[in-house]
Chain A
Amino acid sequence: MPYTPDKPKLAESTDELRARIPGWGADLDPRDRPSVPKERFDPGLNGAHWEFPQRQPEKWPREMSIEHEFLTPVFGTSCPPRGLSGVIRRYSYRTYSEARAAHWLLLLAADRVDAVESTLRSMLTRHPDNPVTETGVLSEFTHHGLSSRLRGKRVDRVHHPLDPVVVAAPWVLAGGVAYLAARRVVRRRRG
């Protein structure tokens, strides 16, 4: 009880816990745990045989946080920025630090633009985006979709209907863009 000094008694004694739970108390001493103390200075510990790593070649101007003094010696090369989303991303990195909401909001906006651009671009390839296979939604039928969702008192049921809206957004937007472009072409031809 918090209204009096003593700590409430536990239902199980230490011996009972030790008997019930394999390994109970194996790491009992708080000082003898792997992440204690938090900072432990030991540069020789980690397998690094350099003080500063060699630099990985920069094959295109790598976007970076303006809070860095220079480009880190090693970095990922997964998806170089491209298209309109690339322009937005580069602008965001160049202009705003990580401390600014504008930085993250622009990057999130670029992600949305990227999805639409990529969906459109994929239509011109032999491997167009396919919302049915890419969402894995057919597993609803093979992996007890309905019964899994109806069982128990899951609170996430209320927002499940929003998921398809998020998925459909790029198609609706891409469709809209395509429609406007087509209308323009047709008008120009007529005009």
Chain B
Amino acid sequence: MRAMVYRGPYRVRVQEKDRPTIEHPNDAIVRVTRAAICGSDLHLYHGMMPDTRVGMTFGHEFIGVVDEVGSSVRNLKPGDRVMVPFNVYCGSCYFCARGLFSNCHNVNPNATAVGGIYGYSHTCGGYDGGQAEFVRVPFADVGPSPIPEWMDDDDAVLLTDALATGYFGAQLGDIVEGDVVVVFGAGPVGLFAAKSAWLMGAGRVIVVDHLDYRLEKAASFAHAETCNFAEYDDIVVHLKKITDHLGADVVIDAVGAEADGNFLQHVTATKLKLQGGSPVALNWAIDSVRKGGTISVMGAYGPMFSAVKFGDALNKGLTLRMNQCPVKRQWPRLFEHIRNGYLKPSDIVTHRIPLEHVAEAYHIFSAKLDGCIKPIIVPNAA
């Protein structure tokens, strides 16, 4: 089969690879019809995530058609159109039994601190991902769901990560009616978090980024006020000024490990790999939220330490909430919101690119060229 393969920092290619096989009785093999590139993939692509091996196929945001099932699979059969959450999880461990699907303990031998994620380095379990013609899907009775008849393929693929994560991010903010919500990052996760904040009753939503074309999307798609941090000497002071010097009630970090805005932080984290991630946005969040407020961290950071302003978080009495998104827990409600027309996730898709051109897709998304917000990879046979 044809598959995207990692070759080293900033380098990927498409090559022939063995078709995945059933390795466990509850496995399924899925023929991929759409796979998105996520901001998280950029952390791998830039060589930031420890134990990212040359030869791995990335891709944790995908949908497809069941091609083959293992002997113990009951809920799926070949031919079913399925959407697959980015979490690999068993459904039965201590954590899964409590709904913490992203923290499963039975799927990742390489680390106990993180669960399983498709195509996301060996630190997240060493699973090949969905930017390929076929992918192995473990625990087929647990994760994947049939795509509802009425649902659009592009909406379905975004439900497997970006939309679920943005919505989850807004929830972890514990937003109550009338809250002022600031979202750092106008990528797919930030846009969906901003949009979801309104559903939870936010009174004001302000999105911060430095890419004007994304901020324009935040205004049109997510009905948000916007703020380009490059235009201010000190974005924290500006945010204080526009929130009556109180600060926001809730801040969502939808930026993560490669945050810009401070050269030293950015370069030590992303180029020199001396910290787990560049906590520029997280530190801005800590300083711009009001005392007693809540920060929801959706941005991903590596497993090493990062230079976070912990003292301010303590002194301000903040609540910090975070996790990888337990995707499937969000689905029933999100299906409703899409049906009701409250959410139209595919509105943020800017590029549809054939699998054969995956290297260009990564470059465009990584360098933020051509107005790129969300690229979707379409395998040849799809």
Contacts and interface: CB of A to CB of B under 8 A. Distances in A.
Interface stretch (B155-163, B168-176, B184-192): B168-176
A47 B107 contact: no
Interface size class of A (residues with CB under 8 A): 35 or more
B369 to A, nearest CB: 4
B108 A75 contact: yes
Contacts of B276: 104
A24 B11 contact: no
Given A47-B141, A73-B90, A136 B107 contact: no
Contacts of B341: 22-23
B25 interface: yes
B223 interface: yes
Interface in A27-84: 27-28, 30, 33-36, 38-43, 45-54, 56-57, 62-65, 67-68, 71-79, 81
A95 interface: no
Contacts of B360: 136, 138-139, 142-143
Nearest to B262: A155
A81 B15 CA distance: 20
A110 B123 CA distance: 13
Interface residues of B: mostly helix, strand, loop or mixed?
loop
Given A10-B204, A46-B142, A118-B54, A64 B110 contact: yes
B51 interface: yes
B210 A118 contact: no
B200 interface: yes
Question: Most chain-B CB neighbours within 10 Å: which of A10, A53, A138, A153?
Answer: A53
B92 interface: yes
Nearest to A170: B8
B287 interface: no
Contact of B126 (A33, A77, A127, A136): A77
A148 B201 contact: no
A7 B211 CA distance: 32
A25 interface: yes
Contacts of B332: 34
Given A46-B96, A47-B142, A143 B369 contact: yes
B139 to A, nearest CB: 7
A76 B125 contact: yes
